[in-house]
Every structure is written in structure tokens, then in C-alpha cells.
Chains A and B, each alone.
Chain A
Amino acid sequence: EPEVTQTPSHQVTQMGQEVILRCVPISNHLYFYWYRQILGQKVEFLVSFYNNEISEKSEIFDDQFSVERPDGSNFTLKIRSTKLEDSAMYFCASRGDTYEQFFGPGTRLTVL
């Protein structure tokens, strides 16, 4: 069964450093998403991406964040200058023609 994959599973970084989280969506999907989950809190929407551009974004997704689909398979989330409060689990998701979003296993980001 096709699945969304994410790398790395755990990323530790120093405050102020840039990080890139990587995702490989399901191959025939056209809509891509990033969510985050701070420990013990709700899963929160960050951004949706379709046809090589951002279609929706939340207030969390400020100028420090960017997304890219650099090739036909990867979908990345970049945080330019990490803060302590960026520590969270980051989930990538993708969908096809239906509303069903398929989630990856997540990347745990720890900012020290």
C-alpha cells in the first residue's frame, strides 16, 4: 500500500539554525500539506500546496517558514531560523481527488 514517508525521523538543531524537513508524498497525489503537533497539544495546520504554489496557510506559517517541491517526488518544509517554540512533531500529508489526507509518520524537531 502506498504511503507518505518523512525524513529524518528526529532532528535536533540549535536555536537560530535552518532546518529542512523532507517528505515524499504518495506518487499520484497532487495536494500536499504540513501540520505540526506540539507535545500534548492539537495537530495544527501549517500550509497546503497545490500546482506548485501555496493554496492556504495558517497564522503559524510566517516568513520563517517556506515550502518547496524541488522535484517530482519530494516536498520540503524549511524553517529559516529555528526558535525553541518550533520544537514539535511535524507531519506531512498528501491527498488525491478525495478529501482524505494521508499522513506520514512525522519528524520530531527538537530545538535546543
Chain B
Amino acid sequence: GENVEQHPSTLSVQEGDSAVIKCTYSDSASNYFPWYKQELGKGPQLIIDIRSNVGEKKDQRIAVTLNKTAKHFSLHITETQPEDSAVYFCAASKTGNQFYFGTGTSLTVIP
């Protein structure tokens, strides 16, 4: 089955700096890659997603890039703010049903 690896496990950045989280996947048939943000005591919330037919997608301060050949995708957050502090999960799916999640990155934005 699919295996998704995520790095780093923890990340601290100064407010205003950029944060980058990287994921790799193993199954070349995966075609949907969402990123979820999980705040303490809450369920994961989708922040951005990308399909395999595009290489990059941007939504304000958040962007995701996908390299199908290398089987990796990354989350980029620019101009980070304290409210960006949370755990971020990447995931991969080929059916839109079963999501394979990464291990999560705990992001801390230092004011």
C-alpha cells in the first residue's frame, strides 16, 4: 500500500518568516494530495489540496507544490503568523476515499 513520509516532525519559525513542510509518497497511482491543519482538541481541517494534473497551487499565504516524478509534495506558508501554530498533516489518495497520512509536523510560530 501507500506510504507517506513527512518532514520535519517539528518546526519553529519567527513570525513573518516562511515555513516549508515536505512529504514523499510511494504509490505512483496516488493522484490527490491534501494538507490538513489540526489545532489542539479539534479535528483536521483542510487548508489546501492539489491534484496530480497540476504542479503548483496557491491560496493567499499558502502554496503546495507537487513533483510527480520524484513523488514528493511540499507545503509552503509565507509571512507566518502566531495563529499558524498547529500540527500539519499531508496525505495522499488514489481513490478519494482512503487517505494515507504523514506523521505530522508541529509548527510553532514565535512572535
Contacts and interface: CB of A to CB of B under 8 A. Distances in A.
A binds B: yes
Interface of A: 4, 31, 33, 35, 41-45, 48, 50, 55-56, 58, 91, 93, 95, 99-106
Given A43-B89, A56-B95, A100-B49, A91 B100 contact: no
Given A42-B101, A58-B98, 14 more contacts: A4-B43, A35-B99, A45-B99, A50-B97, A99-B32, A99-B34, A99-B49, A99-B93, A100-B46, A101-B34, A103-B44, A104-B43, A106-B42, A106-B43
Interface of B: 32, 34, 36, 41-46, 49, 89, 91, 93, 95-104
Contacts, number: 53
- Please report whether the interface of chain A is mostly helix, strand, loop or mixed according to DSSP: strand
A44 B98 CA distance: 9
